[in-house]
Chains A and B, each alone.
Chain A
Amino acid sequence: MCKDSLQQASKQKKVVCEARIVENSAVAPDTYALILDASELAELVQPGQFIELNLRQPDLVLPRPISAYRVHEAGEYGDGSYGPLLELRYQLMGEGTRRLSAMPAGTALGIFGPLGNRWPVPEDTKSALLVGGGIGSAPLAMLAQELVDAGCEVTMVQGGRNSDLLVAADLFETTCHKHALATDDGSKGHKGFVTGPLQELLEDADNDFDIAYICGPEPMQIACAALCEAAGLEAYVSLERMMACGIGACLTCVIPTSKGPRGVCCHGPIFNSKEVLWDEAKSARVH
């Protein structure tokens, strides 16, 4: 079926610009929806890619890398007066995201991107399995939509600490053909980790997945990738590391892979799970 593979993103046009905040609102505890008036970037960004946000705070010297959540087509948002808008979802993690969360609509930020590679979708993909944990579900949203639009059967397994933290569950419920949930406290779906429903789906002989896409906390990604690999399913993960430039210049976010050291920003953030040397990569985990 559709679209580009890993390589194509690197030849993509890049944009450095100023973007105004159209909306910046809490959608769940410590979780925000940030909608930016950045039409050129919105038209370029591919599922799984991220952008760097310069918050313009004199004492915070680094930009914040955040994955794309969705694109609102021209006229789709609010009173219809906007061109294409880019929406991100972010969680309060530290001083940068705390300050970002206090910024009202109209605030101008510096942004650049799109950065990194995209979720790869092989030509003959007919059935895809998406696995999201916490805020890690957000970078899967554009992919789910793209796959569904391309006629692919999409199953989403989503986990969170509690029902409030099943990020964008409504959107996945509407978009995907199947939607399984797990919460640590059992407030919604399976009680326990996302690996529970994932295992069941993988064991169900009616399912014939071609590929799996995983995003969430690293231990969750490792566990889910192991289950997929054991079931003979190719799995792609989206990694996170402390990052400075976001474009492959500073070598801050490098992880060990079977192909040698690779930049999460420029070779990733998406990797084939079998290529990541998880044990060696462990000491540089963000959280």
Chain B
Amino acid sequence: MASLNLTQLRRHFGTVKAVDNIDLAVNDGQFVALLGPSGCGKTTTLRMIAGLELPDSGEIKIGEKPVTHLPPRDRNIAMVFQDYALYPHMTVAENVGYPLKVRNVQAVDIRARVNNVAEQLQINHLLERRPSQLSGGQQQRVALARAVIHKAQITLYDEPLSNLDSKLRLEARAFLKHLQREVGVTSVYVTHDQAEAMALADLIVVMNDGKIMQVGSPKDIYQTPANMFVAGFIGSPPMNLMACTVDAATRTLRFGDNLALQWQHDLPQGAHGQVTFGIRPEYVSIRPAGEPGTLDAKLYVMQMLGSESLIMLHVGNQLVSARLIADDLPELPERVGIALDQKRGFFYGTDGNRLI
């Protein structure tokens, strides 16, 4: 186990800034998720940590040791690939034992360690099979077994669950979290699935266009998004982001003609004039039309999502969603009022960053 430090790491492909001067510090034993849309640079970052890609500039340190230009085999890492990359000509046992074989571990010891890990991952009945004879979920466990067997300092995961169907994915997620608690190895996990990142990670790194948008615990990322990108990316549905004009002197928020709201709390520094107001759908509630302290809204669609309902409304010409915990869709007139939980609202400046 070891800590991981990235300093001013940069990798451009032609004119594409895949990774653009990022800094990241991961503590010993931490599980970090790199989260972002496709093409945000998360996979390139992971491959640079693995040594499969070399950075244009910057430094990578595993523990105290700079590894920036070392080949993968000298970094003492393990990696789980999206397609699992199980060697088709080897049995499961040979696949799992391969990292030990190349380290010249004795065959008897390899066998013992393979059995040990196989038991832990519940694949001991599959050891003599070939990868082609395994289901997707089983292949995934074999890939995990191969990654944990040589007790690497850092384990890297490249979207390891994306090839599983949704039921298996939930199972595998729980299993991975359990395994992580048992093994406790420093891990970097690339995913575009925010639920996966939220569920697994101690620390989430949200990336976009090769830059880090926010680093924080799942709770921080969800509850206090540092900028409009994170606010609009995290959450399903994401945070409501509404164009808004603020009059700081009278603490009035204006969302359009005849759509004014009195702000009850102190406004953050710089919240004046054109800003973006952000609030999560769960903090938007529906009231009778015309009630004081509400904004007039027009019903657009209602979606029943099982344990909750999602109500989408037009406020002026802006679309706002509200989340209701309810067994059934409520009976609503076409015109309603919406109330915003002001303690849960954020202001984002014209540069997209949260005003504090």
A binds B: no
- Interface residues in chain B, defined as those with a beta carbon under 8 Å from any beta carbon in chain A: none
